[in-house]
Each structure stands twice: as C-alpha cells, then as structure tokens.
C-alpha cells in the first residue's frame, strides 16, 4: 500500500502530462517512488486505459471495496473482514450494518468503532464533485497555452475559483479576447483533453474534459475584458457587495462593463472597475466578502505574501520514514530554490504505517542529519521530527530526544473521533510541552476524503499565542490546513504561521507555491509567516520558545 501511495504522489506531482511522458518513451522507474514493476503498470494503464492485473482481481473482488478504505479506521484487513463476515461491499451496506448494530460483534471493532463509522457515513463525504486546485491548475495551464497558440488571440485568462486559489474547484471559466473573425470556439473544442462538447457558439462554449471537469469559454471584446474578468472571477458574495456600492453611485456593473445609464464608463481592466466605485484594486484571493471591501475603503488591504518571501521549509520527510529521497537530496533541492534552511521532520514511532522512528532510531537519524550538514554549504539543515500527539496529549518521543531537536513539529495522526472538548484539550496539552514549536495540519482534514476532526480552532489559536507556539499551513494539495478562514483568525489574534510543504520527495518542495497562494486567501503578509525569517532570526525565535 505504501509503495502505491508513494507512486500516486509522484505521478500527481509530475509537472507534465503523464500521457506525454509515456508517449515520449520516458523511463518512469527513474521517478522517485516508482520501481520497474509499477512503471510497467502505469504505462499499461496510460496506453490501454486499463490494467490486466486489476481486471483479474475485479472478477473475484467487488471494486466498491476500495472506496471503503478511505473511511476512518478501515484498512485492508478490516475491509476484508467486513466483506467476508457481513457481505459488505458498499458504503450503503456499511451504513445499514452500522445502524443495525452488526459491526460491533466483529473481532477488532466494537461499539465505539461502529458509532464512529455511522457518524461519518451520516455526515457524508465532503467536497463531492470538486477537483483539487493543484490538479485543476496544470489542466488549466495547458488549456491557456493551447488557446494562446491560435493566431489572433490576444489575452487568455482563467477566472473563477481557480483564480481565487480556492483549495477545490467546481469548474473552469476561461476568458479570451481576440481579433475579429478568429474562430476561438473551434480551437477550444479541439483541445486534446476534451471528451464531450456540451455547447459551441461564437462567444460561449462549454466542454467536459476527460477528468470530468467542465470548462466554460467566454470570448469578450477588449472593452469589456476587465468587467468580464471581475464578474467571472467572483466570488458571488464579493460581486454582489461591489454592485451594491455601484448602485448607490447610480452605476450598473455586469460582465460587459460599468454603465451609467446606457453609457459604458469603465470595463477594460479590473482596476478601472474598482476605481469607478471608489475602491482600490482588490487581489482575487481576497474576494470572498470577508471584510476586504471595508479594508479597501480604509486603505488597509494586506500586502499579501509572495513566494519570493519564503526563506525555507519547516516540514519535510526522507527515506528514513515514508519519504522517497534522502537527506542530502532534500537539502540540495531546497538550496536550488534559494532557501537558507530546510527542516528534516521525519515521523516518530506512533506513526507505524509511515515507518516512524523510535528514540534510538531517531538519535541515529539526527547523527546522519549532522553529517549532511557538514557536507553541504549554503543551506542549513534543521534537525526536526513530526512527533505524534498521543490520546492523552503526551508526545511519543522522550524529552531527552526532543531536547536535541532544533524544531519539533507536533501532529495528530490518530483518534480522530474524540469529542471536540477532549480533542482540543489533547492538543493544548501537547502545546504545553516547551519542546513543541509548530502544530502541524491543525484540523486534520483531507480534502475530498476526510472531514476535519472536531476541535475548537479558536482555542488552539489562543493557545498558540499564549504559549509562543506556531501553527502550520500544510501545503500538501490534499490538506491546505490551516484553512484560510482560520489563517485570517490566527493573523488577527497575533499567531504566526509556518507555511510548510510536508514534502515526501524533493520535487514536492514546489508545493510551497500552492501554500503561499492559499495563504494569500487567509490575508497573510510576510510578517505573519514564520519561515520568511532569516536562519538567524528563525533560530532566535525557536530558542525563545524553550
């Protein structure tokens, strides 16, 4: 299972289409986390659309069982037991068995597990029908490049929630300006990923891609481009609020421009649209009607963080646990990004599925980090660990080992079903430990797979401020945790955020771009983010905690 997860992550993080890599004869086994056997299977899927081995397994094993593995507390052995003993094949079967009280009688389950499964199934899976921003973005970029290659096309821009950098995307909105007579729609529907043409017209067209993502094209005249970009970027709540201001000024805003009566008075650029209603330009990431309009009126919009502000990454993994590259590879990759430091934060013993390190193994690992530090120039490797927070709030490494770490990243990886009060107290107790610097992925959510566990985030933020701890914005595409609204709340309370990639391979350090983009949705500025500090400033802050 671990090998397949690593391979899936490697494929997901490829900077190019997998089909292009296979068609070009690229040796996939050279990618981190993919061996020869898996490379052959991947190539078979790309070339034929199926996998022979999977088809054989499917003859005796219901395909729906794989879906059950995404539920909390269910691994392969438990799913196999549910199928063998109760004939469970689907979520509906499982929900029925939980309601009937039949699961608790199975070995290794019990009433609490049954209740937890029932509660999860009744809430339903989150974010159904949406695509991770990180997965939609490369598709959108290829589409932009495809459209831009057509002669006569002048501007191409992706609008909607992707432009606002929401963590998930429902569909894509594409705006194009071009010279008169250019057949943009014909070129649009000829995009290689198009599976279904829903509608085709000279100014509006809609397609569905092979991934299931719907794309809506709008061809607009240059005089309306800014107004259309504002309109289709959204959010709806932001647009409504701006239009209300316009009405008070006897103006009307729509996708064609800003109008006074029948006369268009603005619309070529977004800045022009905002200026007409008496506002400065508002960055797309802020357009959620969460106070940005009031801030614009006060001339107090945040100076949002940029990728170039980041000086290092404070949460990465190596081959020592569940990563695919070694310490030196990770450090060299960080150096290539211009970083001054990188923290090697491998898992500790409680994270058994990730090959977590016990006290003795961690000490050996720290020696390897020290040796790597001695062999590399221009990058500081911080001795760190992603330490598990146990049910009672204690940590799964002794204080004698924690004291040897430059940085301690504490995380919840189990017992997600605790009550809101107990979960909150558990985490606050862990933050009481003076060795703890950063609380990793504070809500535990996995986008499209697992809801956040019940926890009082306001109290965690207050606890971080009073204890001198930091909160993480985990930039793994499936996490984006701390959520944007809580990033803003943390900023307002005076808490500092570490934007970290949780990288399990060198190329995943590039997830920092996603994290910074999402941090902008949380109004974060350079000073709000821990790892915009120099190495000296960072070390001073970390020592201050102890």
C-alpha–C-alpha distance, residues 53 and 51, integer Å: 6
Q: Model confidence over 103-132: pLDDT tens digits? A: 888 887 888 777 777 766 765 544 556 899
Mean pLDDT, rounded, of the chain: 90
C-alpha–C-alpha distance, residues 530 and 287, integer Å: 25
Residues 6+ apart with CB under 8 A from 116: 72, 73, 417
C-alpha–C-alpha distance, residues 482 and 296, integer Å: 25
Q: Is the peptide bond before 235 cis (omega within 30 degrees of 0)?
A: yes
Q: Model confidence over 155-195: pLDDT tens digits? A: 999 999 999 999 999 999 999 999 999 999 999 999 999 99
C-alpha–C-alpha distance, residues 432 and 438, integer Å: 12
Using the Cα atoms of residue 371, residue 372, residue 377 and residue 382 in order, give the sign of their dihedral. negative
Residues 6+ apart with CB under 8 A from 361: 320, 349
Q: Where are the alpha helices (DSSP H) in 303-451?
A: 327-336, 359-375, 399-402, 420-432
Q: Model confidence over 445-456: pLDDT tens digits? A: 999 888 899 999
| pLDDT of amino acid 94 | 84
**How distant is the alpha carbon of residue 310 from its chain centre?**
18
DSSP 169: E
| pLDDT of amino acid 9 | 58
Query: Is the distance from CB of 410 to CB of 444 less than 8 angstroms?
Result: no
Query: Is the distance from CB of 10 to CB of 29 less than 8 angstroms?
Result: no
pLDDT over 70 for what percent of the chain? 89
Q: Quick one: 201 exposed, middle or buried, by C-beta within 10 A (0-12, 13-18, 19+)?
A: exposed
Find the mean pLDDT for residues 273-291: 97
Our separate counts of H helices and E strands in the chain read: 23, 17
Query: Is the distance from CB of 319 to CB of 310 less than 8 angstroms?
Result: no
Q: Is 241 left (phi over 0), alpha (psi -120 to 50) or beta?
A: alpha
| pLDDT exceeds cutoff 80 at 33 | no
C-alpha to C-alpha distances, 328 to 325, 373, 374, 509, nearest whole angstrom: 8, 9, 11, 14
- Degrees (nearest 5) of the Cα angle 35, 39, 44? 155
pLDDT band (50, 70, 90) for residue 507? very high
In the chain, what are the domains? Answer: 2-123 (1.10.150.20), 131-219 (3.30.460.10), 225-297 (3.30.210.10), 307-545 (3.20.20.140)
C-alpha–C-alpha distance, residues 423 and 435, integer Å: 20
Find the mean pLDDT for residues 325-353: 96
Query: Is the distance from CB of 212 to CB of 136 less than 8 angstroms?
Result: no
Q: Count Cβ atoms below 10 Å from residue 213 Cβ, excluding itself.
A: 21
| pLDDT exceeds cutoff 90 at 228 | yes
DSSP 259: E
Find the mean pLDDT for residues 269-285: 98
C-alpha–C-alpha distance, residues 290 and 238, integer Å: 8
| pLDDT of amino acid 92 | 79
pLDDT band (50, 70, 90) for residue 12? low
| pLDDT exceeds cutoff 80 at 358 | yes
As given in the structure block, the two tokens for residue 95 are 């929900």
Find the mean pLDDT for residues 430-457: 95
3-state SS class at 474: strand
By C-alpha distance, which of 400, 386, 404 is closest to 321?
A: 386
| pLDDT of amino acid 126 | 47
DSSP 19: H
Using the Cα atoms of residue 430, residue 432, residue 435 and residue 439 in order, give the sign of their dihedral. positive
H/E stretch holding 231 = helix 225-233
As given in the structure block, the two tokens for residue 84 are 């063998």
pTM of the predicted model, to two decimals?
0.80
Q: Model confidence over 462-500: pLDDT tens digits? A: 999 999 999 999 999 999 999 999 999 999 999 999 999
Q: Across-strand partners of 498?
A: 472
Q: Model confidence over 394-430: pLDDT tens digits? A: 999 999 999 999 999 999 999 998 999 999 999 999 9
């Amino acid at each position: 299972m671990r090998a397949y997860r690593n391979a899936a992550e490697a494929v997901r993080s490829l900077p190019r289409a997998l089909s292009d890599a296979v068609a070009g004869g690229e040796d996939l086994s050279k990618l981190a986390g993919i061996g020869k056997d898996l490379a052959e299977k991947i190539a078979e899927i790309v070339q034929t659309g199926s996998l022979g081995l999977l088809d054989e397994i499917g003859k005796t094993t219901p395909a729906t069982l794989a879906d059950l593995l995404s539920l909390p507390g269910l691994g392969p052995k438990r799913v196999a037991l549910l199928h063998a003993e109760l004939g469970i094949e689907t979520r509906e079967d499982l929900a029925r068995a939980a309601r009937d009280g039949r699961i608790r009688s199975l070995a290794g389950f019990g009433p609490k597990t049954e209740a937890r499964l029932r509660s999860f199934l009744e809430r339903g899976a989150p974010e159904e029908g949406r695509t991770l921003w990180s997965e939609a973005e490369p598709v959108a970029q290829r589409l932009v490049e495809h459209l831009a290659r057509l002669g006569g096309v002048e501007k191409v821009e992706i609008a909607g929630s992707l432009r606002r950098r929401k963590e998930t995307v429902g569909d894509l909105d594409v705006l194009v300006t071009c010279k008169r007579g250019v057949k943009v729609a014909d070129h649009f529907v000829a995009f290689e990923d198009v599976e279904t043409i829903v509608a085709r017209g000279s100014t509006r067209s809609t397609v569905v891609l092979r991934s299931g993502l719907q794309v809506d094209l709008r061809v607009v005249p240059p005089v309306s481009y800014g107004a259309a970009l504002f309109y289709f970027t959204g959010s709806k709540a932001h647009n409504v609020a701006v239009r209300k201001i316009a009405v008070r000024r006897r103006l009307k805003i729509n996708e064609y421009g800003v109008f006074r009566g029948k006369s268009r008075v603005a619309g070529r650029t977004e800045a022009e649209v905002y200026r007409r209603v008496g506002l400065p330009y508002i960055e797309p990431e802020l357009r959620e009607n969460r106070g940005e309009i009031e801030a614009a009126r006060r001339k107090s919009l945040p100076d949002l963080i940029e990728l170039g502000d980041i000086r290092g990454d404070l949460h990465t993994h190596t081959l020592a646990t569940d990563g695919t590259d070694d310490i030196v590879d990770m450090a060299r990759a960080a150096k290539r990004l211009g970083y001054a430091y990188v923290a090697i934060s491998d898992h500790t013993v409680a994270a058994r599925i990730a090959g977590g390190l016990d006290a003795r193994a961690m000490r050996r690992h720290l020696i390897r980090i020290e040796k790597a530090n001695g062999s590399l120039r221009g990058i500081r490797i911080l001795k760190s660990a992603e330490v598990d927070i146990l049910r009672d709030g204690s940590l799964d490494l002794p204080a004698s080992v924690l004291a040897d770490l430059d940085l301690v990243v504490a995380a919840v990886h189990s017992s997600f079903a605790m009550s809101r009060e107990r979960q909150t107290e558990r985490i606050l107790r862990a933050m009481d430990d003076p060795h703890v610097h950063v609380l990793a992925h504070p809500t535990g959510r996995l986008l499209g797979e697992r809801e956040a566990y019940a926890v009082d985030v306001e109290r965690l933020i207050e606890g971080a401020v009073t204890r001198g701890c930091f909160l993480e914005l985990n930039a793994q595409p499936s996490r984006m945790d701390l959520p944007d609204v809580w990033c803003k709340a943390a900023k307002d309370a005076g808490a500092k955020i570490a934007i970290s990639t949780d990288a399990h391979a060198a190329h995943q350090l590039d997830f920092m771009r996603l994290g910074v983009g999402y941090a902008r949705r949380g109004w974060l500025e350079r000073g709000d983010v821990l790892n915009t500090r120099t190495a000296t400033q960072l070390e001073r802050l970390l020592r201050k905690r102890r």
